[in-house]
Every structure is written in C-alpha cells, then in structure tokens.
Chain A
Amino acid sequence: MAIETTNLTKRYGDTVALDGLDLSVERGEVYGFLGPNGAGKSTTINLLLNYIKPTSGTARVLGYDPWTDVVASHRRIGICPDRFSTYDGMSARQHLQLVIDTKNVDDDPERLLERVGLADAATRPAGEFSQGMEQRLALAMSLVGEPDLLILDEPFTGLDPHGVALVRDVVDAESDRGATVFFSSHVLGQVEVVCDRVGILHHGRLVEEGSLADFRDQLELSDDATIEDVFVELTSETVASPEESR
C-alpha cells in the first residue's frame, strides 16, 4: 500500500475536521481525493505529511509511520502543498537546488524547470512570480528525486488551461514511471480524466470510493453522467441526513 489510514481522526476543540478516515491507496494508483471546501482533504494531507498530529488513529505512508519516520518517508515523497508561499529572495533554481541537496539526489534543476514550463524563469526571484508560476515551481519541487509517491494538494489552483493540461501530463508521466499519485481537488472536471479511482470526502468522512464506472452503476446514473453528477448525488444525500454524516 502507498497510503493506508485506520480510523484517522483530527479534532480542533469541538470541531471534527476528520472523522475516522479509513483510506487505502494502492501502489502505482492515481487517486483523486475529492470533496467540497472544508471537507477535510487538506487535514488528511497535512496529517500524512506530519504538518499536524492526529487526535487518534493510525496511518502508514509507503510503509512508514508519517509522524515518527519523517526523514525516511519524505525522502520518497514529492509534495506540492496547498496555500503555500515561495521564498521571495530565492530564484526558481535555488528553490529546486535546496530540495535536490536535502534529498541528496543529483537531479538537474534546469530539466525539472523545463518540465513545468519555467525554463526561462530559472534565475528570476520567486517573489516576482505569478500564482500560476509559483504553482508550477511547487510542482517541479515535488518531482525531485523521482518520488515513489506524489502528494499534490489542490494542484490545479491558480493555473490557466495550459497549466491544468501540464499538471495532467505530469501526473500521467509520473504514473507511467510507476509512481503513486494522490491528489486532492474540489474542481471535479479536471479529475476524472487522470484518476484510476476517486474517494469523496464530506464533513470529514469518506462517503464514497471507487471508479467512475462503479459510481454510475451504483447510483443508477446514465452512461454519460460526469463526476459532477456523482458528486452532487452523493453529497446532497449526506446533507439531507446530517445526523448520519456526523
């Protein structure tokens, strides 16, 4: 398993951000983690990356405990965080060099920047970057060292259609290489073309999991139903019975 969580729970005082999540992501899979804003997607990712500590439950990332084996697990993970910021005074190349040196690999920063379409901006300070360029830089940083697992938190944020296509291409290429890709999104249309499987999170719980075909059968939707339809169907169901979703 690339990711496995058991009864993973995160509470902030009385607020339950994540409620007993059981999640399994197979190695080599492209898994889309979907849900409306505030559903608990970022909380899950923050837990898997040791940004925050769990209230209860366990997790394994590439077989490692994410809260105690930080160094070993992060060596094999590529991370593209949500709501991040780059260092104003550092160039794109310096950002990559820091990741390359810390991961102790000998990747070429230029080649990585080329992959995300930032080759021309290699020496520019990241403080001058647009949001889309920052997002591309973060994507390049996540690719350092050919990670076994890519965790991309809302990777489509702030990207124009070219950028969205780029992320899809990168996800395809990394998946072909054999990497597991786990990403979160609330923009549904961008997800169904790249994912093998999706999980839908609502109010801190995983309400459904499977391929689009599974959902169509299960919800008796027509063959041309999109993931939007699935999503609306599932989340409105849980909204209709709030006591069950808690």
Chain B
Amino acid sequence: MALPRWFPLARAEARRLLTSKGPWMLAILLVLWAYRPSYVGWDELGPNLTVGFIQIAGSVLLPLGVLLLSYRSIVAERSSGSLKFLLGLPLTRTDILVAKTLGRSAGIAIPVIGAVVVLVLAGGFRFGLFSPLRFGAVLLVTLLYVVTLVSIATAVSASTTSTVRATGILFGGFYLVLTVLWKPVASAIYSAASGHAVSAYDAPADGALFLLLRVSPERSYHIVTNWLLGVGNSGALFEPALTKLRTPTSINVYAVDAAFEPGSVPLYLHELSGLLVLLCWLIVPLGVARYRFERGDLV
C-alpha cells in the first residue's frame, strides 16, 4: 500500500522534534514528577501502583509540556514564512494539518514512552510485577491524551494569526481553566446555574454536575485511567480518589460512586464516556480549524 501523501511531512515534523531538546527535557521531568509512592496507593493497588505513576505523569505536567511543544507549530511558520514551503508542496491544507498533528504527536509520544519505561522499571523493581494488561491500557489512553492535546494546540495554532493570541487561548483558556482550575470553575458554574452552593465534600447526586466536570479532557483522562486501574468513577488523580472512596476520610474530591447510590448511576456517567470526551476533543477543534484553515488567506 502506498504511503499517504502527507507522510513525508509528518516524518520530518517528528524528526525535527526528536532531534531537539524539548521533548527529551519533558520526558526527564515526567519521570521526576510522576514517581510518587503513597501508602494509600500501595494499600489499595499493590504492584499496580506503578501503573498509577503513568496517570500522574499524564497530569498537569504532560499537558503543559505538550501544549508548549505544539502551540507554535503553524502560527509561527505563518509569521516566519516557512509555511510558504509547506503550502507549495503537492498537499492540501488539510494534509498539512494532519501531518502536523500526527508528526508532532509521534515526536512527543516517543520520549513520553521512554519516560513511562523508566517509570515502570523503577516502580516494578520496587513494588513487584504489575498487571501488563492494565499497564498496556493505561499507556494507550495516555498516548490518546497526547494526540488529543497536540490536536487541540495545532487547531488553535492553525486558526489564529498571532502567536500571542494562540498563547492566550491555549494557556490562559484551555490549560488554566479547563485543565488546572476546572473543578472550582465547574463547581461555580453549577452553583450559579442551580442556585445551590455545591461542595465536593458532599456532592449532590446530580448527573448534570458530573457531566459538566468531565468536559475537561484532563478529568476525562483521569476517569478512564482510574477505571482501568480499578480505582472507581472519579475525575481526580487515583490517590485522592482512593482516599475518598476506600477510606473513611472525607476529602474535597468529586467521585460518582460517592455521590450516587449503587445502581442509580446514569448510563452517561459510565467511565467510558470519558473516552468519548477525549475523542471529541481530538476531532472537534481540529475539524473547526480545518474548516477555517482551508478557506482563509495564509500569508
């Protein structure tokens, strides 16, 4: 089968990233950031605590790193003029978006896989053999999260004409609001809309609240990986989620299993809907960007 025509560009993008320092710096930071043994983690997950480290690696730092490595991908080429070469190739503008997204994803995923290998070697050595199935599944979802983040950053980069605006949208909007601060923001939105102050210590069994919470790709990533780890239905990191669900301690964490009676959880709050949210974030922004990118003036 012939390679798609965007393949050489995707390969060049990946190579450009892999021969630069950024992604490898990110990989080192991820290892240092994610290796965090905890009593509750060990008590509840046993050797699979090691797989949990991958989830920690995928949180806060990974999205920041991926956005930093991707937000300039098109907007900066537009202002420097190198985009003229790409537009001059026998490729559609959509081909260019696809090549950028997949090439960058590969260029970031490879160092991330390297970081994961180091993490699981260290964890496996300390805590014993973990479930290879859970490991494989969590790794796959983490890589899906990487591609999703690259796709969001590429979409914004392709839709704006200034690097400053791309920075504002991605870091001020997407990263700060939807990734870091989504729990208080969603709580505030829900409180304002329902007229009842809501608290994560004692959350109401309202599907709308929990649906709103998983709009954030970060929280959806946690929901899916918590499910794969056998932690429970929560958008928090596995350790606070375990503390909330498995210990008598009441903490400031939203968990579907803590709010709803067993058997009364609406179907749309199943953990798999988190996967659906990630796929939406992967496809919708890039689809909108494609529409704009295909039609506009690019120089």
A→B interface (CB under 8 Å): 46, 49-53, 70-72, 74-75, 77, 79, 81, 83-87, 89-90, 94-95, 97-99, 101-104, 138, 141
Nearest B-chain residue to A49, judged by Cβ: B88
Binds A, one of B28-36, B79-87, B149-157, B158-166: B79-87
A-B contact pairs, 25 of them (CB 8 A): A46-B297, A46-B299, A49-B87, A50-B87, A51-B84, A51-B299, A52-B298, A53-B297, A70-B93, A71-B5, A74-B88, A74-B91, A75-B90, A77-B88, A79-B88, A83-B81, A84-B81, A85-B80, A86-B82, A86-B85, A90-B16, A98-B9, A101-B7, A102-B9, A102-B91
CB contacts (< 8 Å) of B80 on chain A: these are: 85
- The reply to whether B82 and A87 contact each other, CB–CB distance below 8 Å, is yes
User: B266 in the interface, Cβ–Cβ < 8 Å?
Assistant: no
A97 and B92 CA atoms in complex are apart in Å by 19
With known contacts A70-B91, A71-B91, A89–B84 Cβ distance under 8 A = no
Q: Mark B83-121, 1 if CB is under 8 A from A, else 0.
A: 011011111110100000000000000000000000000
Chain B residues whose C-beta falls within 8 Å of the C-beta of A85 in the assembled complex = 80-82
Between B19, B92, B299, the greatest number of chain A beta carbons within 10 A of the residue's beta carbon is seen for: B299
Taken together as a complex, chains A and B put the C-alpha atoms of A86 and B77 apart, in Å, by 9
Q: Output the nearest chain B residue to A151 by Cβ-Cβ distance.
A: B88
The verdict on B279 contacting chain A, using a C-beta distance below 8 Å, is no
Q: Are A90 and B12 in contact (CB under 8 A)?
A: yes
Q: How far is the CA of A97 from the CA of B16 in the complex (A)?
A: 14
Alpha-carbon separation in the docked complex, A104 to B3 (Å): 10
User: Besides the contacts A71-B95, A87-B82, what 11 more A-B pairs have beta carbons closer than 8 Å?
Assistant: A51-B87, A70-B90, A70-B91, A71-B92, A74-B89, A75-B90, A81-B88, A83-B84, A84-B81, A84-B82, A102-B90
Most buried by B among A72, A102, A141: A102
B296 within 8 A of A: yes
Interface residues of B (CB under 8 A from A): 5, 7-9, 11-12, 15-16, 19-20, 80-82, 84-85, 87-93, 95, 295-299
Q: How far, in angstroms, from A97 to B15 measured CA to CA in the complex?
A: 13
- Choose among A71, A81, A98 the residue that contacts B8 (Cβ–Cβ < 8 A): A98
Which residues of A are found within 8 Å of B299, using beta-carbon distances?
Answer: 46, 51-52
Within 8 Å CB of A71, what residues of B? 5, 90-92, 95
Contact A51:B89 (CB < 8 A) given known A98-B9, A102-B8: no
On chain B, the residues within 8 Å of A83 by CB distance are: 81, 84
Closest 5 CB pairs of A and B: A101-B8, A79-B88, A52-B297, A81-B84, A74-B90
Of B9, B296, B297, most A-chain CB atoms within 10 Å:
B297
> CA of A12 to CA of B7 in the docked complex: distance in angstroms?
35
Q: Are B85 and A84 in contact (CB under 8 A)?
A: yes
Most buried by A among B9, B90, B92, B95: B90
Complex alpha-carbon distance, A40 and B20, angstroms: 39
A residues near B95, Cβ cutoff 8 Å: 71
Contact B295 A53 (CB under 8 A): yes
Contact A89:B89 (CB < 8 A) given known A46-B299, A51-B299, A94-B12:
no
Query: Is there contact, CB below 8 Å, between A81 and B91?
Result: no
Neighbouring A residues of B11 by C-beta, 8 Å = 101
A89 touches B9 (CB 8 A): no
Task: Tell me, in angstroms, the Cα distance from A95 to B11 when the chains sit together.
Answer: 12
Which residue on A lies nearest to B298, using beta carbons?
A51
Q: B92 — which chain A residues lie within 8 A by C-beta? A: 70-71
Q: Which of B7, B85, B87 contacts A141 (CB 8 A)?
A: B85
In the complex, A97→B294 CA distance in Å? 26
Shortest CB-to-CB span from B291 to chain A, Å, is 14
Taking a contact as CB atoms under 8 Å apart, the answer to whether B16 and A89 are in contact is yes
CB atoms of A51 and B297 under 8 A apart: yes
